[in-house]
Amino acid sequence: MLSILVLHGPNLNLLGKREPGVYGIETLADINQSLEGDARSLQVQLVTYQSNHEGALVDAIHAALGTHQGILINPGAYTHTSVAIRDAIAAVDLPTVEVHLSNVYRRESFRHHSYIAPVAIGQISGFGLESYRLGLRGLVQYLRQQNAKR
């Protein structure tokens, strides 16, 4: 069975309270619950983790090697600042999908650059909770296609 690591970056623990006009009213628990339902229907295992600390996210990415087959990540603000997270994803070489609740390209210009996108197989933004769900489906489909080629 495929195992996917879902990483939530800084401030995502405040979803539902934090700028609902930008990030929606769903909580992190709502997102995880929705993803768990999708994982059951897709017949994949899901492990979720949230941290406000860059090093903890890097450690989780490193620990994914040999345990998970793919990573679904919302790096939050680290998208635009973290070479360390980018390098960790490149180092473990696991298929990774970057997701964002808001459309980062309709926001401040500093949010238009992602250090993660060049090492990810795809990026989905702007659909709220659906960004995560679409990202999970895309990642699972990609992994299954790669496995079928082997």
For every one of its 150 residues, what pLDDT tens digit does the chain have, with 9 covering 90 and above?
999 999 999 999 998 887 777 777 789 999 999 999 999 999 999 999 999 999 999 999 999 999 999 999 999 999 999 999 999 999 999 999 999 998 877 777 777 789 999 999 999 999 999 999 999 999 999 999 999 987
Could you tell me what percentage of the chain is helix, strand and coil, using 3-state DSSP and rounding each to the nearest 5? 55, 15, 30
Tell the residue number behind the tokens 């960790």, with chain if given.
Answer: 88
**Residue of 8, 78, 100, 132 marked active site:** 100
C-beta contacts of 54-58 below 8 A and 24+ residues apart: 54/78, 54/82, 54/84, 54/85, 55/84, 57/7, 57/9, 57/85, 57/88, 58/84, 58/85, 58/88
Check the annotation: does 109 bind a ligand: no
Tell me if 134 is assigned to a ligand binding site: no
Please tell me the total count of domains within the chain. 1
Query: Is 100 among the residues known to form the active site?
Result: yes
pTM of the model: 0.93
Q: Is 68 a catalytic residue?
A: no
- Give me the domain span that covers residue 91: 3-149
Q: Residue 93 maps to which CATH number?
A: 3.40.50.9100
74 assigned ligand-binding residue: yes
